[in-house]
Structure 1
Amino acid sequence: MPAPSTPTSGSPYTGHPGHPALDVRHDTFVITRALDAPPASVFAAFADERIRRRWFRLPGTGASYRHEFRVGGGENAHSTFPLPDADPEELAYRSRYLDIVADRRIVFSYESIVDDVPRWVSLVTVLIADDGDGSTLTWTEQVAFLTRTGDGSADLPHLRGGTALRLNGLGAALQAGS
């Protein structure tokens, strides 16, 4: 049996062409944000439910959230996303915290599900560094796309762009809280 092809960053891994269960795309991206808040405030924006809801929300309507910020805990969220000329999509987000170091590091895994179909799973490491004038947040995400949208070429830009917008919301939530 021939060895599977070697995955490269940003390219689809199709070790067994024609078998959709083995057609998984792996990618990694990093987003860095300078935040005008001390590390303890940035950390609290992840941990405190009231602050978290200001910046972490699923799109759509009728959203529900259950969040437990502790190692072994996580978040379950659901919403309905209306689409023009199509049935609405049912969105689900499930995460699990793997490592938490107060004011410095959060490591978690999560899955994104659309209409009961797992779309991607990720491992995320959030580092919060004190830069003297505030904090530098570094978000590193390692993602496995399990079900592609079309040819999959828009999946990573969509996820990276959505994460960047969410982190913009984090910055705004921190400003509103000061």
Structure 2
Amino acid sequence: MTERSIAYGTFVIERTLPVPPARVFAAWADVQQKTKWFGAPGGDNMPKQFEFRVGGREFSEGQVGDTTFTFDVLYQDIVENERIIYTYDMTMNGARISVSLASVELRAQGNGTRLLVTEHGAYLDGLDNNEQRKEGTIALIGQLEDFLKSA
């Protein structure tokens, strides 16, 4: 029998990006752009569902080795070029591993953008933890930075 538990964690990632907030926002809001940076490098990152609007859902599924992960999002608040707030859960091989609240803040800074990503997570049954999620999010933000620099 699986021992049930919840571990909580919060992290904040800050970056300065060399493009204006509208460009960063578009990289999150446009499915064609988002698939170029969000997800596993070299993988099929096209979501099965993508409704970028308040109350909209985004759903994707991907493989890492023999492990299948799902990412199921509900957009809670969107202010164009300023913020995105969403809740999401993740599963691993069908087992729910976390439920999170994430916010993306975009602030004009000179000719660029100050990006703040804050996440509050509930990590379930020892299957995930705050440090692993932070590392994964740092990697995704790095992919976003690379995409924005190359586009």
Q: Give TM-score scaled by structure 2 length.
A: 0.91
Deviations along 1:112-132, one digit per CA (max 9) or x if unpaired, are 100110001110011000011
The reply to whether residue 52 of structure 1 matches residue 34 of structure 2 is yes
Specify the alignment match of 1:143 in structure 2. 121
* Cα shift readout 1:34-90 (whole Å, capped 9, x = no counterpart): 0001000000000011110111114685655121110111211112221xxxxx112
d(CA) in 1 for partners of 2:150 and 2:63? Answer: 27
Quote the residue 1:90 is aligned against. Answer: 68
**Structure 1 residue identity aligned to 2:92:** V
Contact 1:99 1:108 in 2 (8 A): yes
Question: Displacement, 1:170?
Answer: 0.7
Pick one of 62, 78, 81 that aligns with 2:61: 78
Q: Does 1:132 align with 2:106?
A: no
Identity %: 32
In the alignment of these two chains, the number of paired residues is 149
Structure-2 residue corresponding to 1:5: none
Q: RMSD over aligned Cα, in angstroms?
A: 1.8
Q: Which has the larger radius of gyration?
A: 1
Kindly indicate whether residue 18 of structure 2 is the aligned counterpart of residue 36 of structure 1.
yes
Q: Which has the higher contact order (CA 8 A, sep 6+)?
A: 2
Q: 1:138 to 1:116 in 2, by over 3 A?
A: same
CA contact (8 A) 2:21 2:81 kept: yes
Matched, 1:165 2:139: yes
Gaps of 5+ in 2: none
1:9-49 CA deviation, whole Å, 9 max, x = no partner? xxxxxxxxxx944x211110000010001000000000011
For residues 44 and 81 of structure 1, the distance between their equivalents in structure 2, rounded to whole angstroms, comes to 27
Question: Whole-Å Cα distance in 2 between the matches of residues 46 and 29 of structure 1?
Answer: 20
- Cα distance in 1 for partners of 2:147, 2:41 equals 17
